[in-house]
Structure 1
Amino acid sequence: MRRGRTTYSDLSAALPTLSDKVLSDRLTRLTSAGVIERHRTPGWPPRVRYTLTSQGRALEPVVRSMWEWGAARREDLNESADPLESL
């Protein structure tokens, strides 16, 4: 979504383990929180695209830090013979 407008289908394909119900719920919540905007194009079939708001873009450093922490943690767990040992 950082690259501009994204469709529900694009998000669903990028997050294959997320059910449609959960994805739909998260998009609704993020829209309500002002993190993303929902743009509906009139016509048939209806087209909906999502974009980050300025508030959503401001969260990028936080999300990036969490992503990096998770990636490092995953590497730590892979190096350990006993996953509980690193806790």
Structure 2
Amino acid sequence: MPTESGRSQRPDTACPVEVALSAVSGRWTTLVLRELMHGPSSFTELADRLPEISPKVLTDRLRSLRDGGLVRQQRLAGFPTRTRYALTSAGEALRPLLIELYRTGERLHRLR
């Protein structure tokens, strides 16, 4: 581990690995993040690109990502009111992790 905080003796919320895994945990979370990495999107756009996610789960994931500081929610003027979601700089910082998780998953899949 590069620092002592990564050498905990038990799971610790301050451990950098735990922080990173917590940021992407949860069903559909990585897919919502992936879609937002292409740029800001409305709820409807996200739902269209992820047709099998229920509106409740998408709402829950967006709320969780927003509360975790990874996604910014912006209400747009006009009627009806529209909302756009975009990654914050902390959300953008997850890009290399998601890319490496994808690559690792491919390797593991081939090794089975």
SS at match of 1:18: coil
Return 5+ residue gaps in structure 1 as ranges. Answer: 78-85
Return 5+ residue gaps in structure 2 as ranges. Answer: 1-35
Rg larger for: 1
Select between 29-38 and 11-20 the one with higher mean Cα deviation: 11-20
1:47 aligns with 2:82: yes
Q: Which of 40, 43, 51 is 1:16 aligned to?
A: 51
Q: 1:61 to 1:44 in 2, by over 3 A?
A: same
- Per-residue deviation, 1:65: 1.3
Q: How does 1:5-84 map to 2 (within 5 A)?
A: 5-74=40-109, 76=110
Q: Which runs of 4+ in 1 moved over 4 A?
A: none
Deviations 1:23-60 (A, max 9, x none): 00000000000001000012211110011100000010
| TM-score, with structure 2 as normaliser | 0.61
**Corresponding letter in the other structure for 1:65:** E
| TM-score, with structure 1 as normaliser | 0.77
2: CA distance, partners of 1:15 / 1:71: 21
Could you say which structure has the greater relative contact order, defined with CA pairs below 8 angstroms and 6 or more residues apart? 1
2: CA distance, partners of 1:9 / 1:73: 34
* Count of residue pairs brought into register by the alignment: 77
Q: 1:52 to 1:67 in 2, by over 3 A?
A: same
Select between 2-11 and 65-74 the one with higher mean Cα deviation: 65-74
2: CA distance, partners of 1:55 / 1:39: 17
2: CA distance, partners of 1:23 / 1:41: 19
Identity %: 36
